């Protein structure tokens, strides 16, 4: 990992240590993106209509939680934590903590909480605790996945 490099190479699973924390990503979300994503995957009124949002618990238009989660996964895949052996998410606990609104800018704080290498199968299980934060450092989502990775390096696009 070179700090100068804006797109650091992915890490090998052997490079991870418990308690390591990575701050990654920066992703703004627009009103248009919120509405178009929700229209396709989660067309609840408060995700697609400003007036319905105002009348809801949220007091305004808010992004689908599914979209916040998709952005979280995308930022993870673009980060150094996208290990050389790939990342297959096998399970995870998600908490949606705060609404995401138009103009919010999201980033991730990722802590390594488990690493278990199976030398026989040349696979490893990695546990992460991922906080997705907005531009005010407020946690909007917490995702604690268990991930399967191979120890060989997979081919990238």
Q: Does 127 engage in binding with its own copies (CB under 8 A)?
A: no
Pick the piece of the chain touching its own copies (CB under 8 A) from 8-16, 89-97, 105-113, 131-139.
Answer: 89-97
What is the closest distance, in whole angstroms, from the C-beta atom of residue 3 to its own copies in the complex?
A: 25
Q: Does 100 engage in binding with its own copies (CB under 8 A)?
A: no
Choice between 17 and 57, CB closer to its own copies: 57
Q: Are 70 and 143 in contact (CB under 8 A)?
A: no
Strand ranges, E, within the chain: 21-28, 88-96, 105-118, 123-133, 139-150
The sign one gets for the Cα dihedral 8, 12, 14, 17 is positive
Choice between 28 and 55, CB closer to its own copies: 55
CA–CA separation, 140 and 71 (whole Å) = 12
Q: Does 74 engage in binding with its own copies (CB under 8 A)?
A: yes
**Half-sphere exposure (Cβ direction) of 32: Cα atoms closer than 13 Å:** 0
Tokens of 88: 């297959």
Could you tell me how many residues of this chain bind its own copies (CB under 8 A)?
Answer: 36
Q: Does 114 engage in binding with its own copies (CB under 8 A)?
A: no
Residues making contact with its own copies (CB under 8 A): 41-46, 48-49, 52, 55-57, 65-66, 69-70, 73-74, 77, 86-96, 148, 150, 154-157
């Amino acid at each position: 990992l070179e700090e100068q490099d804006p797109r650091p190479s992915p890490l090998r699973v052997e490079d991870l240590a418990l308690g390591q924390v990575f701050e990654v990503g920066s992703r703004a979300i627009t009103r248009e993106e919120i509405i178009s994503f929700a229209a396709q995957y989660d067309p609840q009124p408060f995700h697609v209509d400003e007036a319905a949002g105002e009348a809801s618990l949220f007091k305004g238009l808010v992004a689908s939680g599914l979209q916040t989660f998709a952005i979280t996964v995308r930022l993870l895949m673009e980060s150094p934590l996208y290990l050389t052996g790939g990342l297959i998410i096998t399970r995870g606990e998600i908490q949606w903590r705060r609404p995401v609104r138009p103009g919010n800018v999201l980033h991730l704080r990722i802590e390594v909480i488990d690493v278990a290498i199976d030398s026989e199968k040349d696979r490893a299980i990695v546990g992460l605790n991922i906080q997705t934060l907005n531009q005010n450092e407020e946690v909007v989502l917490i995702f604690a996945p268990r991930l399967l990775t191979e120890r060989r390096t997979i081919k990238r696009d």
